[in-house]
Chains A and B, each alone.
Chain A
Amino acid sequence: MWLPFLGLLLGIAFGLLTNIQIPTVYENYLSIAVLAALDTLFGGIRAQLQQVYDDKVFMSGFFFNIMLAAGLAFLGVHLGVDLYLAAIFAFGVRLFQNIAIIRRILLTKWDEKRHKKKIYP
């Protein structure tokens, strides 16, 4: 359980230490990449909690979503249409849904635990 958090912290530290400047044009890509990564991560947690987790789906989803979002942003930049908004919208909605599901599951589990404690003190 501690490993993903360690990885997350490692990644954050790594990202903070990196000092590469990217052109302003590509800041859209970054925001979309953040959203895609977060979405996939929470999706993975939800799947784990619902016990439908499949690492193939998880991995392919992670990279494919990021690439799709980046591709949409790329297309948007070149067409002059803010297509990356679509990706942000989709990811944002899914992110909230995933978090809501996780919260509900956790609440249910917590309730069950309390029930058990009450039943078997």
Chain B
Amino acid sequence: MSNKKNSKGNFLSRKQFELLIVCITTGFIIGYSYNQAKDNKMSSPLNSQLFAQEDSYREELIEQQERNKELAEESNRLQEKIREYEKKFASNENEYEQLVEEAEDLRLLLGNLTGEGKGIRVTLQDGEYDPTSVNPNDYIVHESHVFKVLNELKISGAQAITINGQRLMANSFIQCNGPVITVDGKQHPAPFVIEAVGDSATLSASLNLKGGVINQLLNENIVVTVEENQKLIMSKVKVES
């Protein structure tokens, strides 16, 4: 009943005020929903456009990634190849080095090169004249002795060898010719000086083995002297045509 009084007295009664608030709220909600729906409608084509763009970008990205993958694989393959080549090259280089060394050794042995370097000098001399011995062969140097020394030296890695200054070649021949020996047709009398270029320590050690060449030679009454030389020079052989 007080409401009625109010409504009559005031311009805006309590009831009307409340109704106004409710109406405003309802109107607001409705308008807002309408706005929202409109926004959604408007934004949906935009969204689809964005989606399409995103899709295309994604596809592009995938394409690029695949391309990247292919390129990476190719790069890997090529690198593998390069590594193989390098390995091959390195082994070839090693081989080349070995071959060059071998060729050098062989040339030295052949006498095509001037032998130079550390070396050893072995002198074989006939033994002292022994009046008790009947056979002079017992105390003179035979070519077999020279052979022994030469073989031992070659086995031990001598690179270039001379006998009395004459260079030995691969096809050199040594003959016994009475009291002298013939090297490639040249006669050399005793004492025989055999020079060899090589690792002097190894050479002398191999010669001096117990029961080795020098022991045998000494047993056969031959005077052997071994000296290590710091520097030996052996001129190369002039090939006669």
Residues in chain A within 8 A of chain B (CB atoms): 3-16, 18-19, 21-22, 27, 30-31, 33-34, 37-38, 40-41, 44, 55, 58-59, 62
Whole-angstrom distance between the Cβ of B39 and the nearest chain A Cβ: 7
**A8, A10, A44: most-surrounded residue (chain B CB, <10 A):** A8
Taking a contact as CB atoms under 8 Å apart, the answer to whether A37 and B29 are in contact is yes
Taking a contact as CB atoms under 8 Å apart, the answer to whether B18 and A15 are in contact is no
Between-chain CB contacts (< 8 Å), 5 pairs: A5-B23, A7-B21, A7-B24, A11-B28, A12-B27
Interface hit among B30-38, B101-109, B193-201, B229-237: B30-38
Complex A-B, nearest 9 residue pairs according to Cβ-Cβ distance, in ascending order: A11-B27, A15-B31, A7-B23, A15-B32, A37-B26, A12-B31, A11-B28, A11-B24, A8-B27
Q: A11-B23, A15-B34, A15-B35 are in contact. List 9 more A-B contacts (CB 8 A).
A: A12-B34, A14-B31, A34-B29, A34-B30, A38-B26, A38-B30, A41-B22, A55-B3, A58-B19
Taking a contact as CB atoms under 8 Å apart, the answer to whether B19 and A30 are in contact is no
On chain B, the residues within 8 Å of A62 by CB distance are: 22, 25
On chain B, the residues within 8 Å of A14 by CB distance are: 24, 27-28, 31
Closest to B43 in A: A21
Interface size class of B (residues with CB under 8 A): 20 to 34
On chain B, the residues within 8 Å of A12 by CB distance are: 27-28, 30-31, 34
On chain A, the residues within 8 Å of B3 by CB distance are: 55
One digit per residue, 1 when the CB lies within 8 angstroms of any chain A CB and 0 when it does not, for chain B 187-214 equals 0000000000000000000000000000
On chain A, the residues within 8 Å of B15 by CB distance are: 55
Whole-angstrom distance between the Cβ of B33 and the nearest chain A Cβ: 5
Taking a contact as CB atoms under 8 Å apart, the answer to whether A59 and B22 are in contact is yes
Q: A55-B3, A55-B15 are in contact. Are A10 and B24 (CB under 8 A)?
A: yes
Whole-angstrom distance between the Cβ of A15 and the nearest chain B Cβ: 2
Q: Does B14 contact A (CB under 8 A)?
A: yes
On chain A, the residues within 8 Å of B137 by CB distance are: none
Q: Does B68 contact A (CB under 8 A)?
A: no
Q: Does B177 contact A (CB under 8 A)?
A: no
On chain B, the residues within 8 Å of A15 by CB distance are: 27-35
Contact of B29 among A3, A19, A33 (CB under 8 A): A33
Taking a contact as CB atoms under 8 Å apart, the answer to whether A58 and B22 are in contact is yes
On chain B, the residues within 8 Å of A6 by CB distance are: 20
Complex CA gap A18/B8 in Å reads 36
Within 8 A of A (CB), among B14-65: 14-16, 18-36, 39
**B18, B19, B20, B21: most-surrounded residue (chain A CB, <10 A):** B19
Taking a contact as CB atoms under 8 Å apart, the answer to whether A18 and B16 are in contact is no
Contact of B27 among A9, A22, A33, A55 (CB under 8 A): A9
On chain B, the residues within 8 Å of A19 by CB distance are: 35
Taking a contact as CB atoms under 8 Å apart, the answer to whether A44 and B19 are in contact is yes
One digit per residue, 1 when the CB lies within 8 angstroms of any chain A CB and 0 when it does not, for chain B 158-201 equals 00000000000000000000000000000000000000000000
Q: A11-B27, A41-B26 are in contact. Are A34 and B18 (CB under 8 A)?
A: no
